[in-house]
Amino acid sequence: MSTYEGLLRAADIKRAEATFSHPWNDKSEICGAQMSRLAGLSRSGVSLARLAPGKESFAYHCHHREEEWIYILKGTAVALIDGAEYQMEAGDFVGFATPSVAHNLANRSDEELVYLMGGENHEYEIADFPVHDKRMIRRGEAIEIYTLSDAKPFFEE
């Protein structure tokens, strides 16, 4: 009997777990697995993520093209959304329609935070990092970084 490559068992997901840190946030440290990629999906992303106490997901950012969502499975989190803090716990969901407001997730508890995160996976994405005054443009796997405050209107006189 053959096996279906899109079916992931818990052991497969556990073996695929890796740690990622965003270079612009020294508290960023996510351990997890990109389940959708493992299952062969290319247009949508779903990842299992774990944050140890005191850790954060990424750098505070917003998306221009790709919608994103987070669903808390275990533990508590603080979501920083558009400058305000929101407490989240198991069973809570937050979605970021595009263009999104800036957001980030932090584990300020003494226990591990476990959550699902996902969203769209377009060929092109634009994300801003307002605290760092940066804009990221991704074209496929190629990434370019620009300084937001250097931007000028195209038809500037």
Give the per-residue pLDDT at 154.
87
Task: Name all domains of the chain by residue range, CATH numbers in brackets.
Answer: 18-123 (2.60.120.10)
**Residue 79: closest CA among 107, 114, 110:** 107
pLDDT digits 0-9 by tens, 76-107:
999 999 999 999 999 999 999 999 999 999 99
How many angstroms from the chain centroid is the CA of residue 50? Answer: 12
pLDDT at 69 over 90: yes
pTM, full prediction: 0.92
pLDDT at 156 over 80: no
Judge contact between 36 and 43, C-beta under 8 A: no
Structure-derived torsion over alpha carbons of residues 19, 26, 136, 40, reported in degrees to the nearest 10: 10
62 contact partners, CB below 8 Å, separation of at least 6: 96, 99, 100, 101, 102, 103, 127, 128, 130
How would DSSP label each residue in 80-91? EETTEEEEEETT
